């Protein structure tokens, strides 16, 4: 046990901790990436989704956002120095008058807003939407704050409390780059393996050094 502790240093410990942190951050998305993908067309056809479902494809229809997200920059004292928009939460229709949220990155907002306009025009008898917005993400439950905004939005859209309750637990699709998640987990595993390898090499070096010292101590002296 002493040799194991002696084999630890700042470098190999940092590699182990960093690898574990990276894996823990991306593990759920990594697992979800291997689930069968459900398209937005499937959602309209009534395919059931739940927490952890893998959503991937072009958004078919979308209603205006019920919430937005901003990223804050703070100084050392904790005061907010700037705010930057980082995406919106759109309302996506599914089968049987059920709706799900969609959290996009800011880069999707312009196209999503165009799709929203096309969706309302389509409902009023216009042509089908043509704007393509490719989204991949995983389904998550809304937190209490999002639920509040979602329910307010649905009430303002002439849904009753009973109708909203009948939709079940409010869920949203969180935009996720599954490829990045897979790469990140692999990187995390590699960092852990490198850390373990360095610990093993240090452990072997200490063991060989102790064996050499023990061998020298046991070697008989010369007799005169």
Q: How many residues does the chain have?
A: 224
Pull the structure tokens for residue 142.
């809304």
89 within some domain:
yes
User: Are residues 122 and 146 located together in one domain of the fold?
Assistant: yes
152 within some domain:
yes
113 within some domain:
yes
Residues 103 and 17: beta-carbon distance below 8 Å: no
223 within some domain:
no
User: Are residues 17 and 63 located together in one domain of the fold?
Assistant: no
Tens-digit pLDDT profile for residues 153-197: 999 999 999 999 999 999 999 999 999 999 999 999 999 999 998
120-131: average pLDDT: 95
20-40: average pLDDT: 95
Angle at 29 between CA 116 and CA 166, to 5 degrees: 50
Note the pLDDT of residue 3. Answer: 59
80 within some domain:
yes
Number of structural domains (the chain) is 2
Domain enclosing residue 140, as ranges: 35-181
Please provide the distance, in angstroms rounded to a whole number, between the alpha carbons at the two ends of the chain. Answer: 42
User: Are residues 54 and 143 located together in one domain of the fold?
Assistant: yes
The rounded radius of gyration (Å) of the Cα atoms in the chain is 27
pLDDT higher than 60, residue 223: no
User: Are residues 119 and 204 located together in one domain of the fold?
Assistant: no
pLDDT higher than 60, residue 224: no
Provide φ and ψ at 112, rounded to 5°: -65, -40
User: Are residues 208 and 102 located together in one domain of the fold?
Assistant: no
User: Are residues 105 and 207 located together in one domain of the fold?
Assistant: no
Higher-pLDDT residue of 83 and 101 is 101
Which of 139-143, 179-183, 199-203, 207-211 shows the lowest mean pLDDT across its residues? 207-211
30 within some domain:
no
User: Are residues 108 and 13 located together in one domain of the fold?
Assistant: no
User: Are residues 62 and 76 located together in one domain of the fold?
Assistant: yes
User: Are residues 92 and 129 located together in one domain of the fold?
Assistant: yes
pLDDT higher than 70, residue 124: yes
Q: Which residues contact 18 (CB under 8 A, 6 or more apart)?
A: 188, 191
User: Are residues 110 and 15 located together in one domain of the fold?
Assistant: no
65 within some domain:
yes
User: Are residues 103 and 154 located together in one domain of the fold?
Assistant: yes
139 within some domain:
yes
Tens-digit pLDDT profile for residues 56-91: 999 999 999 999 988 766 666 666 555 788 799 999
Note the pLDDT of residue 215. Answer: 62
Alpha carbon dihedral 81, 144, 164, 156, in 10-degree steps, equals -30
User: Are residues 209 and 126 located together in one domain of the fold?
Assistant: no
């Amino acid at each position: 046990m002493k040799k194991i502790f002696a084999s630890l240093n700042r470098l190999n410990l940092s590699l182990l901790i960093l690898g574990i942190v990276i894996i823990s951050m991306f593990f759920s998305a990594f697992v979800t990436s291997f689930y069968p993908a459900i398209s937005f067309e499937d959602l309209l056809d009534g395919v059931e989704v739940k927490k952890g479902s893998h959503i991937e494809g072009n958004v078919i229809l979308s209603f205006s956002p019920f919430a937005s997200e901003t990223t804050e920059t703070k100084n050392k004292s904790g005061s907010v120095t700037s705010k930057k928009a980082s995406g919106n939460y759109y309302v996506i229709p599914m089968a049987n008058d059920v709706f799900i949220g969609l959290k996009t990155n800011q880069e999707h907002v312009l196209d999503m807003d165009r799709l929203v306009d096309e969706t309302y025009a389509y409902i009023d008898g216009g042509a089908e939407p043509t704007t393509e917005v490719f989204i991949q993400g995983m389904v998550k439950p809304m937190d209490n704050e999002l639920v509040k905004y979602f329910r307010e939005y649905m009430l303002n859209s002439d849904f009753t409390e009973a109708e909203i309750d009948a939709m079940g637990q409010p869920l949203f699709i969180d935009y996720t780059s599954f490829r990045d998640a897979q790469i990140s987990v692999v990187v995390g595993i590699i960092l852990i393996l490198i850390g373990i390898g360095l610990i093993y090499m240090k452990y072997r070096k200490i063991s060989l050094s102790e064996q050499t010292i023990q061998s020298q101590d046991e070697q008989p002296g010369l007799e005169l």
